[in-house]
Amino acid sequence: MRLEIGNFYVNDIVFGDKLSYNNGVLTIDKEEALAFIRQDERITEAELYIAKPGDKIRMCPVKEAIEPRFRPDGRSAFPGYTGDLAPAGDGTTYALKNCSVLVVGRHWGGFQDGVIDMSGEGQKYTYFGELNNIVLVADTNEEFEQREQQKKNDALRRAGHRLAEYIGACVKEMTPEETETFELDGMIKRDSTVEKLPSVVYVMQPQSQMEEMGYNDLVYGWDMNHVVPTVMHPNEILDGAMVSGSFMPVSSKWSTYDFQNCPNIKALYQEHGKTINFLGVIMSNLNVALEQKERSALFVAQIAKSLGADGAVVAEEGYGNPDADFVGCIVALEDAGVKTVGVTNECTGRDGQSQPLVTLDEKCDAIVSCGNVSELIELPPMETVLGELQALARDGLSGGWADDELLGPSVREDGSIIMENNSMFCGDQVCGWSPKTMKEF
């Protein structure tokens, strides 16, 4: 499969009288875009904002991030979700780089939603603080789940993906400024010099623990709870086959933007034919019952061994209960003779003294840490809040609280906040963005 991503680099975003892209400037007709969003009758309130690096803006509750994309051949950027089911990973897609569509709740958050700061100390904690963002702040008629701690947010998430495609269409008649090419031959039909290199697979464990449909990550629009471990071409992930769900403490979530740009996949591609033979992706799942976890681990190990993998990189979306899937998968791979590296966050408590993963094994002897989800973060007030900051305290966001006998409420009267890293939107950046390093004292 050969995927060409034609890139257009967005240096600025403005509102104007026509949707267009010219010399690095993305112009959006706000009223036309809002009319497009409101075609979904479930959207009851909607407004668009622009948030750029350095702006004194705080956003909460943030629900999703998507890179604007468009397929010049007419196929949907998110097949099976925003359009008809069609293959992803082959052909050409156009992408607006350095920017994202962020979806923010007008009022109601949940434990899967988070915070983004565009300047100050908080900017560094999430990748999206460095991007030019089109921010959709909206509410829906889905009143049945407003006060639920866990929400499907279906209308809001779909609105964000549809808006990303709508904006991406502004470059459909243009020539990309740069083209990235991602191509892998069939696993058993590669050049002999490549086949002599160590063969490596990337094992992804996207969120799929909710048995009720609508919360989990999607693959071609299909709920990941239905999926058993399977082989996917890495191009499919980079080309919109995966859509983020509405489940998991937010710092450990993978947004759709993370799937579209997965740095771990790109890094493995970079080394293909040089130091490794990158076989592809084993798309696994996360389960609740121990037997389900063990079964998936066996599947992953069997697939890796059957493909002839010498090594594997395993990444999990989440922590806590999913740690058992993560560790079990690494152990099964090691038992099958596949040398394995894990990529994960840790939950070591506010003092950093607790056990980092729910379960451990001596065979997990190569782990890349993306930081402690429980680390306390204090941030000063921000001039502008998009959404409703009180959701951090009121609605049970992971990492936030209504009151604490020692620390007080997460949201203070002056607009400053104290929270755990848990509340930073996709802040652990397990998919490969993480800039964090370990220090030994």
Give the count of domains, the chain.
Answer: 1
In a domain? residue 430? no
User: What pLDDT is stored for residue 318 in this prediction?
Assistant: 92
Helix (H), strand (E) at residue 249: none
Per-residue pLDDT tens for 261-293?
999 999 999 999 999 999 999 999 999 999 999
Per-residue pLDDT tens for 38-88?
999 999 999 999 999 999 999 999 999 999 999 999 999 999 999 999 999
Split at pLDDT 50, 70, 90, the class of 439 is confident
User: What pLDDT is stored for residue 206 in this prediction?
Assistant: 97
Interatomic CA distance for residues 248 and 308, integer angstroms: 33
Mean of the pLDDT values across residues 234-245?
98
Interatomic CA distance for residues 18 and 222, integer angstroms: 35
Stated pTM of the model: 0.97
Interatomic CA distance for residues 8 and 179, integer angstroms: 9
Following DSSP, what letter does each residue of 307-320 receive, concatenated?
Answer: TT-SEEEEEES--S
In a domain? residue 184? yes
Split at pLDDT 50, 70, 90, the class of 197 is very high
Residue 136 in this model has a pLDDT that exceeds 90: yes
Interatomic CA distance for residues 154 and 249, integer angstroms: 17
Per-residue pLDDT tens for 74-133?
999 999 999 999 999 999 999 999 999 999 999 999 999 999 999 999 999 999 999 999
In a domain? residue 435? no
Residue 393 in this model has a pLDDT that exceeds 90: yes
Of 285, 331, 315, nearest to 428 (Cα)? Answer: 315
Interatomic CA distance for residues 322 and 333, integer angstroms: 17
In a domain? residue 434? no
Mean of the pLDDT values across residues 18-35?
98
Interatomic CA distance for residues 221 and 211, integer angstroms: 16
Helix (H), strand (E) at residue 175: none
Task: Express as a percent the part of the chain with pLDDT over 70.
Answer: 100
Mean of the pLDDT values across residues 319-331?
95
CB 423, CB 398: distance < 8 Å: yes
- Beta strands (DSSP E) in 30-149 are 43-51, 57-66, 69-70, 91-97, 99-105, 114-117, 132-140
Q: Average the pLDDT over each of 34-38, 245-249, 433-437 and give the range with the smallest value.
A: 433-437
Residue in this structure with the two tokens 């798309």, named with its chain if needed: 283
User: What pLDDT is stored for residue 175 in this prediction?
Assistant: 97
CB 368, CB 82: distance < 8 Å: no
Interatomic CA distance for residues 379 and 393, integer angstroms: 14
Interatomic CA distance for residues 371 and 429, integer angstroms: 9
In a domain? residue 174? yes
| Residue 381: cis peptide before it, omega within 30 degrees of 0 | no
Rounded to a whole number of angstroms, the distance between the first and last alpha carbons of the chain is 48
List Cβ neighbours of 186 (8 Å cut-off, separation of 6 or more).
none
Q: Which letter does DSSP use for residue 124 in this model? A: G
User: What pLDDT is stored for residue 84 in this prediction?
Assistant: 96
Q: Domain span at residue 367?
A: 2-423
Q: Across the beta sheet with 12-15, what order do the strands follow?
A: 12-15, 25-28, 20-22
User: What pLDDT is stored for residue 388 in this prediction?
Assistant: 96
Q: Which letter does DSSP use for residue 224 in this model? A: G
In a domain? residue 114? yes
With left for phi above 0 and alpha for psi between -120 and 50, is residue 318 left, alpha or beta? left
In a domain? residue 296? yes
Residue 399 in this model has a pLDDT that exceeds 90: yes
Going by their DSSP bridges, the two strands 2-9 and 91-97 should be labelled as: parallel
CB 403, CB 409: distance < 8 Å: yes
Interatomic CA distance for residues 312 and 29, integer angstroms: 46
Per-residue pLDDT tens for 352-388?
889 999 999 999 999 999 999 999 999 999 999 999 9
What is the chain's Cα-based Rg? Answer: 21
Mean of the pLDDT values across residues 387-401?
94
Q: Across the beta sheet with 230-232, what order do the strands follow?
A: 230-232, 277-283, 199-205, 311-316, 339-346, 367-372
Residue 300 in this model has a pLDDT that exceeds 90: yes
User: What pLDDT is stored for residue 384 in this prediction?
Assistant: 98
User: What pLDDT is stored for residue 440 in this prediction?
Assistant: 73
In a domain? residue 141? yes
User: What pLDDT is stored for residue 383 in this prediction?
Assistant: 97
User: What pLDDT is stored for residue 146 in this prediction?
Assistant: 87
